[in-house]
Chains A and B, each alone.
Chain A
Amino acid sequence: MTVLDTPAWRPRTDAAPLMPDPEPFRLLGTPEAARLDPALLGELYGQLVRGRRYNRQATALTRQGRLAVYPSSTGQEACEVAAALALGAQDWLFPSYRDTLAVVARGVDPVEALTLLRGDWHTGYDPRATRVAPLSTPLSTQLPHAVGLAHAARVSGDDVVALAMVGDGGTSEGDFHEALNFAAVWHAPVVFLVQNNGFAISVPLAKQTAAPSLAHKAVGYGMPGRLVDGNDVAAVHQVLTEAVARARAGGGPTLVEAITYRVEAHTNADDATRYRTDDEVAAWQAHDPIALLERELAGRGLLDDALRQRAADEAEALAADLRTRMQEEPRLDPAELFAHVYAEPTQQLREQEAMLRAELEAEQQS
Chain B
Amino acid sequence: MSAATPGVAARPAPAPAPPKPTTMAQALNQALRDAMAADRSVHVMGEDVGTLGGVFRITDGLAAEFGEDRCTDTPLAEAGILGTAVGMAMYGLRPVVEMQFDAFAYPAFEQLVSHVARMRNRTRGALPLPLTIRIPFGGGIGGVEHHSDSSEAYYLHTPGLHVVTPATVEDAYGLLRAAIASDDPVVFMEPKRLYWSKADWSAQEPAQVPPIGRAVVRRTGRSATLVTYGPSVPVCLEAAEAAKEEGWDLGVVDLRSLVPFDEETVAAAVRATGRAVVVHESSGFGGAGAEIAARITERCFHHLSAPVLRVAGFDIPYPPPMLERHHLPGVDRILDAVGRLQWEEA
The answer on a CB contact under 8 Å between A182 and B162 is: no
B interface footprint on A334-350 (CB within 8 Å = 1, 0 otherwise): 00100111110011100
A64 at the interface (CB under 8 A from B): no
B131 to chain A, nearest CB (A): 10
Q: List 22 A-B contacts (CB under 8 A).
A: A90-B1, A127-B90, A127-B123, A134-B127, A144-B111, A145-B86, A145-B90, A147-B83, A148-B85, A149-B91, A153-B1, A156-B93, A160-B1, A175-B83, A175-B110, A178-B77, A178-B83, A181-B80, A182-B77, A343-B182, A343-B184, A346-B259
A residues at B contact (CB < 8 Å) = 90, 121-123, 126-129, 133-134, 138, 141, 143-153, 155-158, 160, 162, 174-175, 178-179, 181-182, 185, 336, 339-343, 346-348
Q: Are B127 and A128 in contact (CB under 8 A)?
A: yes
> Roughly how many angstroms separate A340 CA and B341 CA in the complex, as a whole number?
41
Interface of B with A (CB < 8 Å)?
1-2, 43, 69-70, 74-75, 77, 79-80, 82-93, 95, 107, 110-111, 114-115, 118-128, 159-160, 162, 182-184, 213, 259-261, 263-264
How many residue pairs link A and B with beta carbons under 8 A? The number is 150
Interface of chain A: mostly helix, strand, loop or mixed:
helix
Which residues on the B side are within 8 Å of A152 (C-beta)?
43, 87-88, 90-93
Give B160's nearest chain A residue, CB to CB: A341
A127 vs B160: C-alpha distance when bound (angstroms): 19
- The answer to whether B121 and A122 touch across the interface, beta carbons within 8 angstroms, is yes
A149-B87, A178-B79, A342-B184 known; A158 vs B123 contact (CB < 8 Å): no
- A342 touching B162 by the CB < 8 A rule? yes
Q: How far is the CB of A258 from chain B (nearest CB, A)?
A: 23
B117 closest partner in A (C-beta): A341
Shortest C-beta distance, B114 to chain A (Å), equals 5
Report yes or no: B84 in contact with A148, Cβ–Cβ below 8 A: yes
Given contacts A138-B110, A343-B182, 6 further A-B contacts (CB under 8 A): A148-B86, A149-B88, A181-B77, A336-B124, A341-B160, A343-B120
Cβ-defined contact, A347 with B121, below 8 A: no
A279 to chain B, nearest CB (A): 39
From A147, A156, A341, give the contact of B121 (CB < 8 A): A341
Docked CA distance A187–B90 (Å): 19
Chain B residues with Cβ under 8 A from A339's Cβ?
124-125
Given the complex of chains A and B, what is the CA–CA distance between A121 and B123 in angstroms?
8
Q: A182-B74, A341-B120, A346-B261 are in contact. Are A148 and B88 (CB under 8 A)?
A: yes
**Complex CA–CA separation, A205 to B326 (angstroms):** 51
* A133 shortest CB reach to chain B, Å: 7
Is A145 a contact partner of B120 (Cβ separation < 8 A)?
no
Q: Assess whether B85 is in contact with A342, with CB atoms less than 8 Å apart.
A: no
Using Cβ atoms and an 8 Å threshold, which residues of chain A touch B264? 347
When distances are taken between beta carbons in the complex, the residues of chain A under 8 Å from B184 are 342-343
Q: Quick check: A347 and B75 within 8 Å, CB to CB?
A: no
- With a cutoff of 8 Å between Cβ atoms, the chain B residues found around residue A174 in the complex are 79, 107
B80 contacts across to A, CB distance below 8 A: 144, 147, 175, 178-179, 181-182
Q: How far is the CA of A35 from the CA of B121 in the complex (A)?
A: 48
A343-B90 CB under 8 A given contacts A134-B122, A145-B83, A178-B80? no
Who on chain A is nearest to B126 by CB?
Answer: A126
Q: Which residues of A contact B111 (CB under 8 A)?
A: 141, 144, 175
Q: Are B87 and A138 in contact (CB under 8 A)?
A: no
Question: Residues of A contacting B74 with CB < 8 Å?
Answer: 182
User: What is the distance, in angstroms, from A134's C-beta to the closest C-beta of chain B?
Assistant: 6
Interface centre among B88, B111, B162 (most CB of A within 10 A): B88
Hey, which chain A residues are within 8 Å of B91, CB to CB? 148-149, 152-153, 156, 160
A269 to B122, CA, bound (A): 24
CB-based nearest B residue for A131: B1
* A2 CB, nearest partner CB in chain B, Å: 26
Name the residue on B nearest A348 (C-beta): B261
A157 to B162, CA, bound (A): 31
CA distance A346 to B88 in the complex (A): 26
Smallest CB separation, A239 vs chain B (Å): 23
| B111 vs chain A, min Cβ distance (A) | 6
A138–B127 contact, CB under 8 A?
Answer: no
Hey, which chain B residues are within 8 Å of A348, CB to CB?
260-261, 263
CB distance from B121 to the nearest CB of A (A): 4
CA distance A158 to B183 in the complex (A): 23
Separation of A207 and B159 alpha carbons in the complex (Å) = 36
Kindly identify which residue among B77, B87, B263 contacts A148, using a CB–CB cutoff of 8 Å. B87
Closest chain B CB from A355 CB (angstroms): 14
Interface residue from B82, B84, B162 paired with A151 (Cβ < 8 Å): B84
B160 touching A342, Cβ below 8 Å:
yes
Tell me the smallest distance from the CB of B298 to a CB of chain A, in Å: 11
Note all chain A residues with C-beta closer than 8 A to B122: 122-123, 134
B residues in contact with A144, CB < 8 Å: 79-80, 82-84, 86-87, 111
How far apart sit A362 and B303, CA to CA, in the bound complex (Å)?
32
Question: In the docked arrangement, what's the CA distance between A339 and B121, Å?
Answer: 8
A230 to B163, CA, bound (A): 45
Query: How far does the Cβ of B319 sit from chain A's closest Cβ, in whole Å?
Result: 29
Min CB distance B72 to A, Å, is: 8
Bound CA–CA A121/B182 (angstroms):
25
- Contacting pair A156 B2 (CB below 8 A): yes
Once the chains are docked, how many angstroms separate the CA of A147 from the CA of B128?
18
- The residues of A that contact B126 with a CB separation of less than 8 Å are 123, 126-129
CA distance A121 to B88 in the complex (A): 24
Would you call B2 and A158 a contact (CB within 8 A)? yes
Q: In the complex, how many angstroms separate the beta carbon of B157 from the nearest chain A beta carbon?
A: 13
Taking CB atoms, residues of chain A closer than 8 Å to B127 are 127-128, 134
| Distance to closest chain B CB from A52 (angstroms) | 29
